């Protein structure tokens, strides 16, 4: 049948990117993937093109310089005969180098608490939506608006809470509060 006829002018398959993080705090990103062996990968980043050749196993690598904010990339494969593949999907990498906001609304640093009815403290604050909050190495959930709260039972004396916010790109902000409890 017709299916057995090889079509030498067939376009190559589009390049396949290996996983890369959609958020980063590094201005240089390393992007790799696979393509038909011997094909050229033409990558478009923010509208400008660069190209590299897949190795004998079809593996390719790019080192990209990112702009602040959202960066858009896509690629096509070009085989030695000049046939061009379909374009990959558009992917975005967001370069974010700003530390997240972090504020503790209550209690205030250095507060003192007395008696068994004040042994439970609730730390409340806000950070940027999408961040992770960690208080003394415990993960605390953050609302869609960036609010969080954490309740802890204090020990007698000085209680220190290390509050850390980490955004999707890995930037962090930290605050410590020390509370005093007298049973």
pLDDT in tens, 133-159: 999 999 999 999 999 999 999 999 999
Task: Read off the pLDDT of residues 2-56 as tens digits, 9 standing for 90 and up.
Answer: 454 455 568 899 999 999 999 999 999 999 999 999 999 999 999 999 999 999 9
What is the reported pTM?
Answer: 0.82
Residue for token digits 């909050």? 133
Burial of 86 (0-12, 13-18, 19+ CB in 10 A): exposed
**What confidence score (pLDDT) does residue 8 get?**
57
Whether residue 51 contacts residue 24, with contact meaning beta carbons closer than 8 Å, is answered with no
d(CA 122, CA 29): 40
């Amino acid at each position: 049948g017709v299916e057995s006829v090889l079509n030498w002018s067939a376009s190559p398959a589009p390049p396949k990117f290996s996983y890369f993080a959609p958020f980063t705090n590094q201005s240089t990103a390393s992007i790799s993937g696979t393509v038909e062996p011997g094909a050229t990968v033409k990558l478009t980043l923010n509208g400008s093109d660069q190209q590299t050749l897949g190795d004998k196993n079809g593996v390719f690598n790019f080192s990209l310089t990112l702009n602040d904010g959202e960066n858009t990339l896509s690629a096509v494969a070009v085989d030695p005969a000049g046939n061009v593949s379909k374009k990959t999907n558009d992917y975005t990498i967001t370069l974010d180098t700003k530390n997240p906001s972090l504020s503790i609304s209550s209690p205030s640093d250095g507060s003192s608490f007395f008696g068994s009815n004040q042994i439970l403290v609730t730390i409340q604050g806000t950070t940027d939506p999408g961040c992770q909050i960690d208080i003394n190495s415990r993960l605390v959930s953050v609302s869609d608006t960036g609010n969080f709260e954490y309740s802890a039972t204090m020990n007698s004396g000085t209680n220190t809470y290390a509050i850390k916010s980490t955004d999707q790109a890995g930037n962090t902000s930290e605050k410590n509060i020390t509370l005093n409890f007298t049973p």
